[in-house]
Amino acid sequence: MLDQNEPRHVMMAITFGVFLLSPIFLIAAPIFIAISMHGVSDSWVVLPPAKAYLFYGIGLLFLFIACFILFLLRLNKTSKWISVVSVLLCILFMAEGTQHYVGVSTDDVSFKRGMFASEQRYPWSEVEVVTYREFPKEGGFPKFDFHFIDGDVISLPETEHVRLLHNAIREKLTNNDIEFQRR
């Protein structure tokens, strides 16, 4: 005969696994998902912004809560409903996180600011000014701020991936007669 606590122990193990694997998932998944969902054949770089990591983190928190509640409340009816709601919130936040990205390719600069926002693609000819902020006020990586003809602005953090492309981006700006400013 099975022990009555066995399902509870399984949920404890799953909760512990989610807790241990969350940091690894949070580091690798956003970049991999952004590249596979939004990358095109001529993409130089596709990066999720910091906001995407926040959405992934909140989604993982709800996944942890869903498993932990099942363990804590011994798989009763209330815990199952709370877990279902938590899993749905997890899916919602993860889906929102996948829809944030900034990409630079041979032909254009593209970005999307969320699940309900439309994808924006600007050819290099529609880039008015690019500002390079080596020490941004908000801290973090240096940033390229792309200012477009219609007034829209998007920031591309200079991570290790982008740092390798710094000269290529500068050359693209020079070839297209786009003003470059350093701050």
pLDDT digits (tens, 9 = 90+) for 59-117: 999 999 999 999 898 888 999 999 999 999 999 999 999 999 999 999 999 999 999 99
Show Cβ contacts of residue 49 under 8 Å, excluding neighbours closer than 6 positions.
Answer: 100, 101, 102, 155, 157
Residue 101 contacts residue 40 (beta carbons within 8 Å): no
Q: What pLDDT score was predicted for residue 140?
A: 83
How much is the average pLDDT of 151-180?
92
Q: Is 21 helix (H, G, I), strand (E, B) or coil?
A: helix
User: Is the distance from CB of 38 to CB of 46 less than 8 angstroms?
Assistant: yes
Distance CA 167, CA 140 (A): 21
State the pLDDT at residue 75.
81
pLDDT for 1 equals 44
Confidence at residue 139, expressed as pLDDT on a 0 to 100 scale: 80
Report residue 136's pLDDT band, with 50, 70 and 90 as the boundaries: confident
> How are beta strands 127-133 and 179-182 bridged, if at all?
parallel
Q: Which phi and psi (to 5°) does residue 47 adopt?
A: -130, 140
3-state secondary structure of 97: helix
Q: Kindly write down the DSSP assignment for every residue of 128-139, as one continuous string.
A: EEEEEESS-TT-
Q: Where are the alpha helices (DSSP H) in 39-164?
A: 50-72, 77-98, 160-163
pTM of the model: 0.88
Q: Are 56 and 97 within 8 A, CB to CB?
A: yes
- Of the candidates 183, 178, 112, 104, the one whose C-alpha atom is nearest the C-alpha of residue 147 is 178
3-state secondary structure of 56: helix
The three state secondary structure string of 151-170 is CCEEEEECCHHHHCCHHHHH
